[in-house]
Structure 1
């Protein structure tokens, strides 16, 4: 069955201007929330990420939920700056509590990012994200959240890279349909339960997600089969093309 964090994105949040937010006051250990699925999926996810992540740079995690993935991956990939985020203030407290518990120098305080917002508050990061990671989100949020996620990836991935340079990529994990068909009976039952909670939720179709990614300037996904009938998807950001010289040569011809 596809896994999810039921306490994340449990309702549609109103549009607002997001801002970087380190929880205040400093949360204690009791603020830490736990999602049982994290302990099961973090190592398979890390095994895929190991071959995709760069040696250095910043990873922006969207919809970080409890913060357990952020804390674990920051310790697994110490050469990278791991920047978690979530629009839910209580989950940001959980993320911050996990951050304080692991004391990883490369794990940043969480940002308040709503992926559906037209602008994301990334100025405090200091550099554009090399990679974005989003785990178990788009099936427990309205379709507008997936649209906002890919639009943001298209805007921000590789924003500091020059023409012809690779622009990093977006990593997704969760359950998906293929060609409109569920990959397992358990995923079909999971989809029904999601839609019963909120008709705007549901297991998404890989084809629809891929088409949206390509429209945002990302490449078709590399697909990794994962445990519990989940998929990991890697959408590389296409290199920027500098057409100035080509246009100049065309004018001179």
Structure 2
């Protein structure tokens, strides 16, 4: 079953750390992929940072990089700030209230962009916005990294992911698992090509795209 639940849904007071149980299960596998694609230095933008747990772990794992977390949800931004303060990671910047569908992103040009578990819990327009802005901001050869559950025509969808898809649709009909072929087509329209697909824990995958 997919481990992509954004966080524990409960009575987490604003300003406190939210916790996504999946982070502990997938963060090392994600770091293993990132070690092969991230540049040795520069700014790495994470779109839809959620709880902030991934970004502080990445900050510790890649001390020579600077990480810029972001999320359109104010409560998530507060959680990101709380995690960053708690873990005292000096190379993680304060979170930005960035929306993938915004007309422009007012940020410095990053050397890489990460987006973990956003595509399936947002409208398709958010994925379009992500690729369009990445195409504007990234230099040729720079990576755009995606992680999450996806559909593939040549791979049977795990029963847990099918159940997760039904759950997503019950919350918002605009949400749902995307097909890798559709992601590749969107990438091609916005100046990217897929470099790799890596199997990840709990029926998730990593997709690495490079700016042409």
Q: TM-score range by the shorter chain?
A: over 0.9
Could you say what secondary structure the match of 1:235 adopts? strand
* Residues 3 and 136, structure 1, Cα contact 8 Å, conserved in 2: no
Q: Give, in whole Å, the separation in 2 of the partners of 1:203 and 1:182.
A: 13
Q: Give, in whole Å, the separation in 2 of the partners of 1:180 and 1:196.
A: 26
* Residues 177 and 205, structure 1, Cα contact 8 Å, conserved in 2: yes
User: Is 2:191 the counterpart of 1:217?
Assistant: yes
Could you say what secondary structure the match of 1:223 adopts? strand
User: Residue by residue, what CA displacement relative to the aligned partner does 1:153-180 show, whole Å, maximum 9, x if unpaired?
Assistant: 111111xxxxxxx431100000010128
State the Cα RMSD in Å: 1.9
User: Residue by residue, what CA displacement relative to the aligned partner does 1:50-102 show, whole Å, maximum 9, x if unpaired?
Assistant: 11111001100000000000000000000100110000111100000111112
Could you say what secondary structure the match of 2:37 adopts? coil
Q: Give, in whole Å, the separation in 2 of the partners of 1:180 and 1:204.
A: 14
| Structure of higher CA gyration radius | 1
Could you say what secondary structure the match of 2:192 adopts? coil
Q: Give, in whole Å, the separation in 2 of the partners of 1:101 and 1:29.
A: 15
How far does residue 182 in structure 1 lie from its aligned partner after superposition?
4.8
Q: Give, in whole Å, the separation in 2 of the partners of 1:6 and 1:79.
A: 28
User: Is 2:109 the counterpart of 1:135?
Assistant: no
Matches within 5 A, 1:110-129: 110-122=95-107, 125=108, 128-129=109-110
How far does residue 185 in structure 1 lie from its aligned partner after superposition?
1.6
* Residues 148 and 204, structure 2, Cα contact 8 Å, conserved in 1: yes
User: Is 2:157 the counterpart of 1:183?
Assistant: yes
User: Is 2:147 the counterpart of 1:173?
Assistant: yes
* Residues 182 and 188, structure 1, Cα contact 8 Å, conserved in 2: no
Q: How many residues align?
A: 208
- Taking structure 2 as the reference length, the TM-score comes to 0.93
Q: Give, in whole Å, the separation in 2 of the partners of 1:180 and 1:144.
A: 25
Q: Give, in whole Å, the separation in 1 of the partners of 2:63 and 2:204.
A: 26
Change (3 A) 1:129 1:48: same
User: Is 2:35 the counterpart of 1:50?
Assistant: yes
Matches within 5 A, 1:1-253: 1-6=1-6, 31-122=16-107, 125=108, 128-158=109-139, 166-179=140-153, 182-238=156-212
User: Residue by residue, what CA displacement relative to the aligned partner does 1:94-147 show, whole Å, maximum 9, x if unpaired?
Assistant: 00011111222211000110000110121xx4xx10100000011011111111
- Taking structure 1 as the reference length, the TM-score comes to 0.78
Could you say what secondary structure the match of 1:97 adopts? helix
Q: Give, in whole Å, the separation in 2 of the partners of 1:29 and 1:185.
A: 35
Could you say what secondary structure the match of 1:201 adopts? coil
